[in-house]
Amino acid sequence: MSARRLLTALSLLVLGSTAGAAGTATEPTHRPDNMMAVPSPTTPQTAIFAGGCFWCIEADFEKLPGVIAVESGYTAGQTVNPTYEQVSAGGTGHTEAVRVRYDAQKVSYSQLVEYFWRHIDPTVKDRQFCDVGSQYRSGIYWQNDAERKIVESSRDALLKSGKIARIETELQPASTFYLAEEYHQDYYKKNPVRYAYYRSGCGRDIRVQNLWGSR
């Protein structure tokens, strides 16, 4: 069993014990969410990214000023209402993703895209760091034409800069976003020791620093 799946199993055991003691159900639930309409500039907006383990990319985005909240989930697949077990087995076509809710008056979509690039490894296909498989592929999923233009322009500028030689990150229109089970939400806050162990062991920060330098 991989370190990631072992940590998930341990989290479920703890979650089950706590819920059992309280006399409540332990079955995780999640629901599909589509946020395709362009919201008013005065209301929180959303952006969808996939950067490997959603525990990590969620933690990264929640450090960015202007971000209101980040939700972990699954997107860009075929199976309806997939579970973590199904997605992690690689048979649903989904990738682990996050939906970022942000205040557009404090941080722009363009800034989110630039921030995202520098927290992943866009040079690899169907993996991120120690996690291998299409369920860990990186992606940016635009929700309207304005976002598409920003994403494509950012990609082109990055390639032109010569900083990296190729980009394997998937750029696609957004499809159904399914919220992941509750125990995955804010995992880094709920399980800080296990999360730190996984992130360090996966080599994420070392690879990002080698690729992009100090952020």
Structure tokens belonging to residue 113: 């895209």
Q: What distances in angstroms separate CA 60 from CA 114, 116, 204, one per listed residue?
A: 13, 9, 11
Helices within 33-135 (DSSP H only): 54-61, 84-89, 109-117
Q: What DSSP character marks residue 181?
A: P
- Can you tell me the distance from the alpha carbon of 92 to that of 129, in angstroms, rounded to the nearest whole number? 21
Query: Please, how many CA atoms are within 13 Å of residue 195, restricted to the half-sphere of its CB?
Result: 18
Which stretches of the chain are assigned E, i.e. beta strand?
32-33, 45-51, 67-75, 95-102, 127-128, 131-132, 138-142, 170-173, 177-179
- Can you tell me the distance from the alpha carbon of 70 to that of 89, in angstroms, rounded to the nearest whole number? 24
56 is catalytic: no
Active-site hit among 53, 56, 130, 202: 53
Instruction: Please give the positions annotated as active site.
Output: 53
